Structure 1
Amino acid sequence: MYVKNLKQDFYEFLAAKRILLIANYDIDSICTCKILQPLLKQEYCVYTLEVVKNTDDLKRVYHENCDDVKYFVLINCGGTVDILECLEPEEDVLFFILDAHRPTDVYNIYSDNQVRLLCSQESDVNVPKFHDIFTEDDESENEEHESEKEDSDEVEDRAVKRQRLEERIIRRREKRIWEQNREEILRKYAQYTYYAYPSAITMFNLAWKLSKDDMDFLWYAIVALAEQEVLGKIEDSNYVLETGTLQSHANRLRNRTADNNLATSTKIEFEKDLRLALYRHWTVESSLKYSTYTACKLKLWSIKGEMKLHELLVDMGLPLVQSKQNFSSMDLDLRQEFLSKLEKFSEKYGLTDIIYSTFTLSYGYRNKFTASDYVYALIAILDASSSDKNPQECFHLALDCLSRTKKEVLHSALERAKNIITTLFKTVQNALDMKRVISAGPFLYYIIQEGSTGWQLLSQPNILFMLAQFLLKAYVSTSSNRKAQSLPLLVSAPSDADKGTCILLGVPPLCEDSTKNLFGEAFQQIASNINCDTFANYFDTSYVDLHIKDRTRFLDALTAIVL
């Protein structure tokens, strides 16, 4: 059930109790933990933090701790599955679930005893009514009672018996119709997967109501929102609404602190910025070339596109020598005029949406970062570092990355992020040049082969998601097929070479204003239809693991469903 008063029924309820904090391996969970951990310490809560990637990890962590802990706080995990059926807990165990994945499982919504949902009810769209999907099954008892009565009454009139038989048939027919309607209601409710606003914003709002919020808490919420914007998990209209609310908090906190010392003050500004990846920490030429927006608009994977990029730099009055230097090393006047000059020539080069509004964090004399800078850094830590560190270590390193006292962690992650962005561009360039984006009729697909450049990096979920969106935009920008914009894309990469498995991800078409994804439900339906082994235990069901030998059969079956 939904918790209406987070302060009373969650925060104060858990005071001085021992809890297990289970966080999903994603950026929003990192930001949420950075807010929640200090709040729990202030209430003398004894907690342990565990990191999970999928439902198998969730089951393992729960069963390892269920004997010692009775209160579990789940962040971005557990909301989309029937948590009681999944974990089979004792009756005295209580789950507090804060999950941005949608749709929320109806059994979690209508569980009055052991499940507490910390999200708002409004964030779940078209939740079925209780009486439309749940009913007391007393028909068998009624029929048994009527049979006993018929056996005991040997002299009962035949007309009465016939009437009772007809009533029983009518009840059975009504039950069958109700069950059919129930299946249809649940199918429509679970048809699309999508994201609600970040869990970190919910935690920040709790801190605000407790009068415990500060600039750092606000920045964590901003980074979580920026992750949804960078990865295309949020609609533009919702992004504008959320940034407006966060901007008002930034103004309030700035007025409250009133620290004008440049060396110690922390400032969060809402301002115009460029859709260029890491340009303040990179060279202008590299950022322009490898950023998804400019690469797709100017088709920078082609010789003609590179010529157009050089023409743009000439029009801006930016010497090639300066554009190849780090942005911080460029002449001061060129740095100050870079945004305005690029905006001036944006319409000429078809870059009409290159300007957007975002938040920047400034502290000290030389530290200025956009929210997207932190997003790329955190992705680099979570995915690019996973080969030599376990998830728990990467998660804690990402927590350190958000701390202003650990600048070396952030700068190191930004360097790895540049390698990720470059690898994505080269993969897209190769896919287009070799014509490896295949049209299967109702969708497109692209397969990354084992042994290809960067395949291990690209098999990580966040990076694969970035590749899928980059590749779809690039394909649409170059394709002569009028239907290309209405086609979704499937991308597959090897996930475990020893087991012979691959990861498969589906993203919606560009023509859709909504970020809702239909592949989650489709993957589950295909797995049951063709009887192949899939490992659909991701919290985001638009991902699925399956054996490479079953991939072709899986895609063929998907063709029939998407049609």
Structure 2
Amino acid sequence: MYVTPSSYGKVFEDIRASSMSHTTCKLVIFISCLDIDALCASKILSNLLKSELIPHKIVPIVGYEELKSMYIELDYEISNVMLLGCGGGVDLEEYFEIEDVINEEGDIISQNTPRKIYVIDGHRPWNLDNLFGSEKIICLDDGSIDDELIKHKEAYAGLIELNDIEFDEEDKSDENSDGLTDDDNNDDGDIDEPRRGMRPLKSRAELEAETDKYTALLEEYYAAGSSYAAPVSSNLYTLLSSIGETSVANLWLTIVGTMSLDAEYPHVFKRIYPLLEDEVSRINASSMIAAHDSGNDTTLTTEIDYSLFLLRHWSLYESMLHSSYLSAKLHLWTDDGRKKMHKMLAKMGISLQESKEMWTHMHIKLKRELQSKLEGVMGSHGIDQVIRKGVVRKFGFKVSVSAGDTVEALTALLESGRTNIGLDMTLFSNNRTNDDEDQESEDINHSDEKERFWVANFWSGWDALDNINILMDGLQKAKFLQQAVVRTGTALFEKRQIKHLRVFRLAVIKEGPDLDIFKNPLALTRLAVWIADNCVEADQQSLPLVLASLDPKTNTYLVLGLGARKVKRSEDDSENIVFNADAVTNKFGSAFREVAQNINARVRLDAFESSTIEVLQDDLSRFLEGLTLSGLIGR
């Protein structure tokens, strides 16, 4: 079943009433551990539960296999389970093997688990069994189901009704040719009038046509591809609003969670973020007055921000050079592009020496004039979106950090944890050699240590949300990781290793100094977005991207499919082509699954992001060829 935002308060009251205990924990929260939005949402929820003195357990998980195994191991006393950032796309009753015990009369007399499962997940499509076919699964709707899935709800109910009719017909061995059973005839053999309220009888052909119509609608829904609807953190903030528990700290977490979607799902960010900026103005007024000029000041402010990478924590030059936005617009991966950036700085009246000073040491006059200087060159260089608004949080007198910078720091921590800047990613390798026995069968199941590493990284990100020192460490790691992205992406362009296939672009990373970094889906996604945006600006073609990165220690490729980054011609100037952040769907999840089955490839498809898959090294060529020829990925 599903509940709309107007019922969120009632949902929380139910959870509170059934989770209160002085002796045991009755509430377990499973969280996608490679998802900053889910991370922020879990912190919001934990803050709320702690304020209500509700015992709970936070369990970060990497994929569906781990989710199922840990769910099955739960104590019977657990009355409530919450899933944040995962779970919405599978039939959870079937996946968790939740069954009813039914007596001879057909009545439910017990269940193998009495608990309820609450799902808050932005991934789409929903599994409709969760929405319309279960009382044990409660999905928190962002407000779109009643607007967008009315026909699907009717089709789902219609199929159930038609299935019941079919079952009834098969069960009536004494049915007459006129469609009425012997019970519908009187003792003299005269046919009574049909009973009041009886469903009009339909022919077998009519029933089959109705079934086909409903089935086609639902198949079309699932085949449309994956997308993202609403931030999990914003759903949690809506819950807080419904019970009157909003705060500056939780609003900040919501802003960071929403900001984390900007790179991959810009349509979601652009829809939600203005509402959060309005909330900053509403909720922050009293705390600003109370904490003004205080060492404990943690207020939020809406300020001018820039599409420059970690500007407040780097030099202007490095920030521009490693900006994904400027890289795409100016082609900074080329010598000409870098020369263009140098000329732009000169037009702004900023020398190279001044631009390479750390932002904190840069002359105050230059910092104050940066906005006007950029405004003077935006039009001529096609960088109209380099200036934007952002939300900044103060941490006393120590430092101020923007939501965008916080996202970069958290991403780095989720990618690398609190390891040294060198990022010794071999912490999670199995350290096997190619001579090991059963190497082939073990390669695809190498993930246990890697997943433990990622779970540990989740807790680094969790701690950073409350500890500015850990967050600052994350900022330093973010610089290193972005340098690796730019370095690797530039090498792919320079060596012409980004191939244009029939319906998508393809890049395969087999070597290089940064190969270990791209074992992580977050890092590979960051690189994929960088490549895709640069390709769109370079050749003005809107195509999906497949990016594969080798893990030589396990002989597997991590393969990621990214939906097309749109280009759009301006109505008033046919020559002006700009990035369009409209919602796009990603069809790689179902395509990966189907191609792997068709060619019998040895793969592992377990991530909550369905467009990520692990493929054995020997099977990659066949897998990519099958994907190219399948016709499953369209423009």
TM-score normalised by the chain length of structure 1: 0.89
CA separation of 1:175 and 1:314: change in aligned 2, threshold 3 A = same
Deviates more, 1:355-364 or 1:501-510: 501-510
> 1:523 is matched by which residue type in structure 2?
F
**8 Å CA contact 2:415, 2:454 repeated in 1:** no
State the shift of 1:410 in Å. Answer: 0.9
SS in structure 1 at match of 2:526: helix
**Conserved? CA contact 2:62–2:455, under 8 Å:** no
- Match of residue 393 from structure 2: 361
Mean CA deviation greater in 23-32 or 457-466: 457-466
Stretch moving more, 48-57 or 175-184: 175-184
Contact kept in structure 1, 2:533 and 2:565, CA below 8 Å = no
Residues 282-332 of structure 1: CA deviation (Å, up to 9, x unaligned) = 111111111111112111122212211111111222222221121101111
Q: How do 1:133-152 residues align onto structure 2 when only pairs under 5 Å count? A: 133-135=159-161, 136-146=163-173
Change (3 A) 1:295 1:509: closer
Selected match of 2:617 from 548, 552, 562: 548
CA contact (8 A) 1:508 1:518 kept: no
Tell me if 1:452 matches 2:452. Answer: no
1:177 is aligned to 209
How far the C-alpha of 1:170 sits from its partner, in A, is 7.8
Deviation at 1:147, TM superposition (A): 5.5
Q: Distance in 2 between matches of 1:13 and 1:500?
A: 42
Whichever residue aligns with residue 350 of structure 1, its letter is: G
Q: CA deviation at 1:232?
A: 2.5
Secondary structure at 1:498 match in 2: coil
Match status 1:98 vs 2:153: no
User: Partner amino acid for 1:254?
Assistant: N
Look up the equivalent residue of 1:429 and give its one-letter code. Answer: T
Residues 301 and 557 of structure 1: is their aligned pair in 2 closer, same or farther, counting only changes over 3 Å? Answer: same
Secondary structure in 2 matching 1:485: coil
Q: Does 1:442 align with 2:500?
A: no
Q: Is the 8 A contact 1:222 1:371 kept in 2?
A: yes
More displaced stretch, 13-22 vs 321-330: 13-22
Residue in structure 1 matched with residue 257 of structure 2 by the alignment: 224
Give the AA of the match of 2:513.
T
Alignment of 1:344-493 (within 5 A): 344-385=376-417, 387=425, 388=427, 390-403=453-466, 406-449=467-510, 451-479=511-539, 485-493=541-549
Q: Which residue of 2 aligns with 1:158?
A: none
**1:268 lines up with 2:300 in the alignment:** yes
| TM-superposed deviation, 1:433 | 0.7
Aligned to 1:72: 81
- Report the count of equivalent residues: 537
Matches of 1:413 and 1:504, distance apart in 2: 25
Q: Using the alignment, how far apart are the partners of 1:443 and 1:175 within structure 2?
A: 41
Q: CA deviation at 1:414?
A: 0.5
2:336 corresponds to which of 298, 304, 319: 304
For 1:433-458, what per-residue CA distance to the aligned partner results, in whole angstroms no more than 9, with x for missing partners? 11101111111111111x42212212
CA separation of 1:8 and 1:141: change in aligned 2, threshold 3 A:
closer
Matches of 2:206 and 2:553 in 1, distance apart?
52
Q: Which moved more, 1:258-267 or 1:435-444?
A: 258-267
Question: Structure 2: where are the runs of 5+ without partners?
Answer: 99-111, 183-200, 420-424, 428-451, 568-579
* C-alpha distance in structure 1 between counterparts of 2:526 and 2:159, whole Å: 37
2:504 and 2:495 map into 1 onto residues whose CA distance is 19
Q: Distance in 1 between matches of 2:596 and 2:213?
A: 24
Give the CA deviation at 1:226: 0.6
Secondary structure of 1:486's match?
coil
Structure-2 change in CA distance of 1:475 and 1:234 (3 Å): closer
Corresponding position: 1:10 with 2:73: no
Residues 525 and 560, structure 2, Cα contact 8 Å, conserved in 1? no
Alpha-carbon shift at residue 71 of structure 1 (Å): 1.4
AA matched with 2:125: P
Tell me the residue number matched to 2:561: 505
Contact residue 276 and residue 293 of structure 1 kept, 8 A: yes
Tell me the distance in 2 between the aligned counterparts of 1:366 and 1:323: 24
Distance 1:423 1:275, change over 3 A: same
Residue 196 of structure 1, CA deviation: 1.5
* Structure 1 vs Structure 2 CA RMSD: 2.4
Could you tell me how far 1:38 is from its partner in structure 2? 1.8
Q: Which position in structure 1 is the counterpart of 2:108?
A: none
Counterparts of 1:206 and 1:458 in 2: how far apart (Å)? 36
Post-superposition Cα deviations, 1:59-107, rounded to whole Å, max 9, x if no partner, equal: 1211221434231111111111111111113341210111111111000
The answer to whether the Cα contact below 8 Å between 2:548 and 2:557 also exists between their aligned partners in 1 is no
Q: In structure 2, do the counterparts of structure 1 residues 147 and 475 end up closer, same or farther at CA, with 3 Å as the change threshold?
A: same
> Match for 1:340: what amino acid?
S
TM-score, scaled to structure 2: 0.80
Task: Show the counterpart of 1:213.
Answer: 246
Secondary structure at 2:305 match in 1: strand
C-alpha displacement at 1:477, in angstroms?
2.9
Q: Distance in 1 between matches of 2:164 and 2:244?
A: 49
Distance in 1 of aligned mates of 2:2 and 2:349: 57
Question: Cα distance 1:477–1:149, how it changes in 2: closer, same or farther (>3 A)?
Answer: closer
CA distance, structure 2, for counterparts of residue 274 and residue 499 of structure 1: 41
Closer/same/farther in 2, CA of residues 401 and 144 from structure 1, 3 Å limit: closer
Supply the distance in 2 between the matched residues of 1:121 and 1:199 (Cα, whole angstroms).
Answer: 13
Map Cα deviations across residues 257-295 of structure 1 (whole Å, 9 max, x no partner): 222234222221223311011011011111111111111
Unaligned runs of 5+ in 1: 154-168
CA distance in 2, matches of 1:222, 1:267: 13
Contact 2:322 2:486 in 1 (8 A): yes
Q: Larger deviation: 520-529 or 20-29?
A: 520-529
Q: Deviations over 1:514-543 (max 9, x none)?
A: 232122222233233333333222212121
Q: Does the 8 Å contact 1:32/1:199 carry over to 2?
A: yes
In structure 1, the residue matched to 2:36 is 27
CA contact (8 A) 2:413 2:457 kept: yes
1:530 lines up with 2:599 in the alignment = yes
Larger CA deviation: 539-548 vs 81-90: 539-548
* DSSP-derived class of the 2:15 partner: coil
CA distance, structure 2, for counterparts of residue 209 and residue 137 of structure 1: 40
